[in-house]
Structure 1
């Protein structure tokens, strides 16, 4: 199977994840990047959306997860997002990065993120 890459970057969604009460109450924006290993050959040949990953539908699914049930760790959130990506029939592997740019850190920083890579079992 050809392994091409479909990437969705910078999906910004308000969520209530974190270990502190104020993170759960007020929430904050999380930014998600995903890269999916898949074959795009059939889609390219047919020019038909049904032969590839519908990244609009994927964005909606990922946004629902981020805006949904809170978790303590962005590692857990990343795992849930990767599971959703791998639930798509055409996806062989997923790389997911969850950014938490407003993490409760007392030092100046630009971003905190966790990146995981998972493959279909």
Structure 2
């Protein structure tokens, strides 16, 4: 029997955290925006129409929130890797791509962009 794989996504999740290399980043904090793309086996969820057979996106949201609002990290790459490692351990997740953006990074001059790290965990 063929499995039905699909993607579940959460986009543009924004949280405050105190991550960064510089002391002022850890003291003042910053806003971080996160995108999650989960490749999931949806076979049972499609058949039964039951959340228990899928991935609970509220649980995914909480993993991201706890990580961003939690222990300070020097690098956004580490944040993305921590989130992806925890999410890939959820049942039915085949792979996960996590993008973490630091809004208003401490760069000289007027910065209207962001710093971004992307990590893919799994096949």
TM-score tier by shorter-chain length is: over 0.9
Residue 56 of structure 1: SS of its match in structure 2? helix
1:69: which partner in 2? 71
Alignment of 1:110 with 2:113, yes or no, is: yes
8 Å contact kept, 1:62–1:84: no
The structural deviation recorded for 1:2 is 3.1
Aligned residues: 120
Q: C-alpha root-mean-square deviation of aligned residues, in Å?
A: 1.2
What is the CA distance between 1:44 and its match in structure 2?
1.5
Compute the displacement of 1:41 (Å). Answer: 2.2
Contact in 1 for aligned 2:103/2:114 (Cα 8 Å) = yes
Tell me which stretches of 4 or more aligned residues in structure 1 moved more than 3 Å: none
Runs of at least 5 residues in structure 2 that lack an aligned partner in the other structure? none
TM-score relative to the length of structure 1: 0.93
User: Does the 8 Å CA contact 2:63/2:87 hold for their aligned counterparts?
Assistant: no
In 2, Cα distance between the equivalents of 1:53 and 1:31? 21
Structure number with the higher strand fraction is 2
